[in-house]
Amino acid sequence: MSINAAIDALATVLGDRLSQSKSDLAAHGQSETHFDPTPPDAVAYPRNTDEVSQIVTLCAQHHCPVVGYGAGTSLEGHTLATSGGITIDFRNMSQVLEVQSGDMTVRVQPGITREALNEDLRATGLFFPVDPGANASLGGMAATRASGTTAVRYGTMRDNVMALEVVLADGRIIRTGSGARKSSAGYDLTALMVGSEGTLGLITELTLKLQGQPEAIAAATCAFDTIDAAVQAVTATIAMGIPMARIEFLDAASVAAVNAYSKADFPVTPHLMVEFHGSDAGVAEQVERFGDIALDCGGSAFLWATKPEDRTRLWQMRHHAYWAILASRPGLNVAATAIVTDVCVPISRLAQAVSETQADIDASTIPAPILGHVGDGNFHAILLIDPENADEKHAALDLSARMAKRALALGGTVTGEHGVGLGKLDYMAAEHGASWDVMAQIKRAMDPLNILNPGKVVRLN
């Protein structure tokens, strides 16, 4: 392996679109959470697929690691260059290539963010529904199989990516999937690439499914006395088959943090934030049915966000909750950092998972607000730690490990939507058993030199 030789070769091809500036390396070597900075040796800014292919081909010749980079919003250290090498930043590949209105699909480059895409689609009456909160890039969202607040209705990236263009580890450019809504033509390489975190190929183009803007939208918050009551309302709502567009849970600590950060005044008790999409009559019916369930579970009257700007503000508050929670532990010498958990369990075990987690947090010294996409059985405890306190980090990692173990014991997964990255790698053997070996077999077959985001998702020994 000669990273320097690769850099020399790349500089010839890319000119000033290959950067080794300190600020560039540092910016691409940090993460949103607790991981230590791990910069690459250089950052490449390709303008098109052919350039990505050239970069990967040269890196393969020199056995040089290649890490894809979108908006840098990963919570699990996906983009950290733990073996050094080249980071490919897709910011110059962020165009909408084609809106296919008649098919309700769009072709985009990987660097475009979900907000930019939806802004671009505004006049079409269509929107892309997957919403992980952060303004992530579509390439990154596909690579981590992201989901978020709307997955309960519209599915995850697994369900919303129809086709891909991918640069493989040897520089070959392939297309997976087609423009058809379904196909039985062989192995589902689209699904294999989605969630592979840049370890099997680099996504250079995506065809995404779009949705029609709903005729009617209604959003509301509803306060509950206890976590159990709120979770019961969720379980009953899902069992009734009410097609909620969003059904988000925040515990009292999360609500307090949101109030402080976003200058809101929600009562400081567990809340559900909900949204309904449909025809006028359909939304009215959903609201009534959900209202009955919430009432049965002791929920408060709804606080409606009726105007579009009120809805925008409501979901902005939800999307900023991570930052609100980070800011909710002041008084340290440095800013608090977070270990983010991401368990997802069968909906029938959600109440148990949340209440056992809450008890575990209460018995610890770690502040850890809980919130999540409970309609999917997915929730996060944000474990707030003092980065200068090793004992605290240790205790938080233990707490996180117990959450992971609990999720697996309940038939769930340690990561509902954030991905494996570095943070969840240690749980993969327990979650998958021999299936994890199969993932490694596939990785070896598709990237025999192990140059694509090495050290992530699988272990090769």
Site residues (CB under 8 A) for its own copies, limited to 35-74: none
Give the three-class secondary structure for 220.
strand
Q: Minimal distance in Å, beta carbon 341 to its own copies?
A: 13
Residue 420 found at the interface with its own copies (CB under 8 A): yes
Residue 26 found at the interface with its own copies (CB under 8 A): no
Q: Which residue has tokens 């369930």?
A: 293
Q: Minimal distance in Å, beta carbon 87 to its own copies?
A: 21
- In this chain, which of 23, 187, 331, 334 binds its own copies, going by CB under 8 A? 187
Q: Minimal distance in Å, beta carbon 300 to its own copies?
A: 26
Residue 182 found at the interface with its own copies (CB under 8 A): yes
Nearer residue to its own copies within complex by CB, 26 or 174? 174
- In this chain, which of 120, 188, 228, 360 binds its own copies, going by CB under 8 A? 188
Name the residue among 66, 21, 26 with its Cα closest to residue 46. Answer: 66
Residues 208/162, Cβ–Cβ less than 8 Å = yes
Residues 201/168, Cβ–Cβ less than 8 Å = yes
- In this chain, which of 54, 160, 196, 237 binds its own copies, going by CB under 8 A? 196
Residue 217 found at the interface with its own copies (CB under 8 A): no
Phi/psi zone of residue 341: left (φ > 0), alpha (ψ -120 to 50 degrees), beta? beta
Residue 461 found at the interface with its own copies (CB under 8 A): no
Selected range binding its own copies among 37-45, 184-192, 293-301, 383-391, rule: CB under 8 A: 184-192
Beta bridge partners of 380: 371
**Following CA atoms 111, 117, 119, 123 in sequence, which dihedral angle do they give, to the nearest 10 degrees?**
140
Residue 248 found at the interface with its own copies (CB under 8 A): no
- Spell out a b/e string for 16-49, using b for 16 or more CB atoms within 10 Å of the CB, else e: ebbbeeeebbebbbbbbbbbeebbbbbbbbbeeb
Q: Which residue has tokens 């979770």?
A: 231
Selected range binding its own copies among 32-40, 63-71, 146-154, 321-329, rule: CB under 8 A: 146-154
Report DSSP state, residue 415: B
Nearer residue to its own copies within complex by CB, 206 or 345? 345
Q: Minimal distance in Å, beta carbon 97 to its own copies?
A: 14
Contacting its own copies within 154-173 (CB under 8 A):
156, 158-159, 168, 172-173
Contacts with its own copies by CB under 8 A: the residue count is: 87
Contacting its own copies within 378-417 (CB under 8 A):
378, 407, 410-417
Give the three-class secondary structure for 302.
coil
Query: Residue 243, Cβ neighbours under 10 Å: how many?
Result: 13
How many residues appear in the chain? Answer: 461
Radius of gyration of the chain (CA): 22
Residue 429 found at the interface with its own copies (CB under 8 A): no
Q: Minimal distance in Å, beta carbon 388 to its own copies?
A: 31
